[in-house]
Amino acid sequence: MTLTQVQLRLPKKTIEEIDQWVKEGRFKSRSDAIRTIISLYEERERTRGFLAMLNTRSEEAEERPDTLIPLEE
């Protein structure tokens, strides 16, 4: 994986919080913390997409119950 350096401006309070997490050993560095936070956000968005798909499928199943495949097969 190739990493690209970017400049990021954050509120001082946010940087202080990230620095505290690094000091506590939760993360190796500021960069590690920010990468992890972004990864968690991406995972949350994938989960939201999956939930939306399940909700759509549930609505479709209610509209056309004859097309359902039983889980017990």
User: What whole-number distance in Å separates Cα of residue 55 and Cα of residue 3?
Assistant: 37
- Which tokens is 17 given? 């919080």
- Which tokens is 66 given? 């004859």
What pLDDT is stored for residue 71 in this prediction?
58
pTM as predicted: 0.72
- Which tokens is 31 given? 């960069």
What pLDDT is stored for residue 20 in this prediction?
98
Q: How confident is the model at residue 28 (pLDDT cuts 50, 70, 90)?
A: very high
Over residues 51-55, mean pLDDT: 88
CB atoms within 10 A of CB 35: 13
User: What whole-number distance in Å separates Cα of residue 58 and Cα of residue 66?
Assistant: 13
- The answer to whether the beta carbons of residues 67 and 61 sit under 8 Å apart is yes
